[in-house]
């Protein structure tokens, strides 16, 4: 590199941090021209590369005739979504029960558009919000547990039953997805009851999926009530999704 260019580059690197503080505005442009320096205000930064996860989920949304941003904010990655889609589509016209409403609810309704889809939701605001965007039924439910009780309740199935309407209880569900209630800290209900009920509601030949199985509660209750021998799917995405074949 010629010495003049080296000095210009060095001068620019030394001058730029203090230019606005020490050099009067009327002098800055002449100095920049004299040193043949680029205008820092017009330097273009390289574009931010697209998020592959956003692109993948947008592709899934478009496949089912939904807006590309439908799954924005969903706490599932494309590999987890595809595993559940595969199970639902393998049972055309079947029934699909989902514990928990979310940003993915519109997709699940569309995936199972030829069958029956029902959501069970304990949070009134989420239930109302999702009900406005889908035609599928959202059934309000309640959980009496707190996550801190999970170890004590693990071997007490008689205490884990839920009060469910006959339209839910008297039907055998082809696919059950446990993604609720919340279970991220000790002030939440935890998924003890929903996993237990999933084991009772799934049909012979059906599948149960449980999200967040890297967490102790989901892992323990899935092992006890769904059975490790039935596990046929294990996918890491946003979290660990396990699937159990009945």
The per-residue pLDDT for 142 is 98
Give the pLDDT confidence score for residue 34 in this predicted structure: 61
Two tokens, residue 150: 């999970």
Classified as helix, coil or strand, 16 is helix
* pTM, 2 dp: 0.81
Report the alpha-carbon distance of residue 109 to residue 90 in Å, rounded: 15
Residue 202 pLDDT = 98
Bond before 181 cis per omega within 30 degrees: yes
Secondary-structure percent of the chain, ordered helix, strand, coil, rounded to 5: 45, 15, 35
- Residue of 104, 135, 133, 137 whose CA lies nearest to 119: 137
pLDDT of 39 reads: 58
The torsion region of residue 201 among left (phi > 0), alpha (psi -120 to 50) and beta comes to alpha
Burial class (CB in 10 A: 0-12, 13-18, 19+), 48: exposed
pLDDT for residue 36: 60
The pLDDT assigned to 69 comes to 95
| CA dist list (Å): 11 to 5, 18, 36, 116, 173 | 10, 11, 11, 70, 72
DSSP state, 156?
-
What pLDDT does 135 receive?
97
Low-confidence ranges of the chain (pLDDT < 70): 1-43
């Amino acid at each position: 590199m010629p010495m003049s260019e080296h000095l210009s580059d060095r001068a620019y690197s030394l001058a730029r941090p203090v230019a606005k503080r020490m050099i009067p505005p009327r002098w800055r442009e002449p100095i920049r021209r004299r040193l043949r320096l680029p205008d820092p205000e017009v330097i273009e930064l390289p574009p931010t590369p697209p998020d592959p996860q956003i692109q993948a989920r947008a592709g899934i949304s478009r496949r089912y005739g939904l807006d590309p941003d439908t799954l924005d904010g969903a706490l599932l990655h494309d590999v987890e979504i595809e595993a559940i889609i595969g199970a639902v589509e393998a049972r055309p016209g079947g029934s699909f029960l989902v514990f928990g409403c979310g940003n993915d609810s519109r997709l699940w309704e569309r995936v199972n558009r030829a069958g029956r889809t029902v959501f069970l939701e304990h949070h009134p605001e989420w239930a109302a919000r999702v009900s406005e965007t889908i035609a599928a039924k959202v059934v309000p439910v309640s959980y009496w547990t707190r996550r801190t009780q999970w170890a004590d309740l693990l071997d007490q199935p008689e205490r884990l039953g839920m009060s469910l309407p006959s339209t839910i209880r008297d039907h055998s569900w082809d696919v059950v997805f446990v993604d609720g209630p919340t279970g991220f800290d000790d002030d939440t209900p935890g998924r003890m009851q929903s996993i237990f009920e999933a084991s009772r509601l799934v049909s012979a030949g059906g599948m149960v999926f449980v999200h967040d199985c890297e967490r102790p509660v989901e892992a323990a209750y899935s092992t006890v009530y769904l059975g490790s021998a039935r596990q046929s799917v294990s996918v890491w995405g946003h979290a660990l999704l396990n699937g159990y074949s009945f």
